[in-house]
Amino acid sequence: MALRYKTRKWLALLILIVGLPLYIIVAVNVVALFDRPSILVELAVYVGLGILWAIPLKAVFKGIGQPDPDV
């Protein structure tokens, strides 16, 4: 079942305001568990984790910036 535009818009806002900061905190804590790697390795890990969170949520964010098609 596809989500309505308004539902996806609110869900995307909730993800960005609540979920993304929580994901950042978790990612920083996971990286902190290991000895500090070189800056390039650490950068690669953060870039990889930054892409990883967006892939499953692509359907929620797709088309949010467009006018409401339901109107």
| pLDDT tens digits for range 37-47 | 888 988 888 89
At 1 the pLDDT is: 58
pTM for the whole thing?
0.74
In the chain, % helix, strand, coil (3-state, to 5) comes to 70, 0, 30
Percentage of the chain beyond pLDDT 90 is: 21
Q: How far apart are CA 39 and CA 51, in angstroms?
A: 18
Q: Would you kindly state where each structural domain of the chain is located, as residue ranges?
A: 5-61
Q: Catalogue the E-assigned strands of the chain.
A: none
H-helix or E-strand spanning residue 18: none
Kindly give, in sequence order, each residue whose CB lies less than 8 Å from that of residue 15, ignoring residues fewer than 6 positions away.
57, 60
Contact 11, 60 (CB under 8 A): yes
Spell out the per-residue pLDDT of the chain, length 71, in tens.
578 888 889 999 999 999 999 999 988 888 888 888 888 988 888 899 889 888 988 888 888 888 888 77
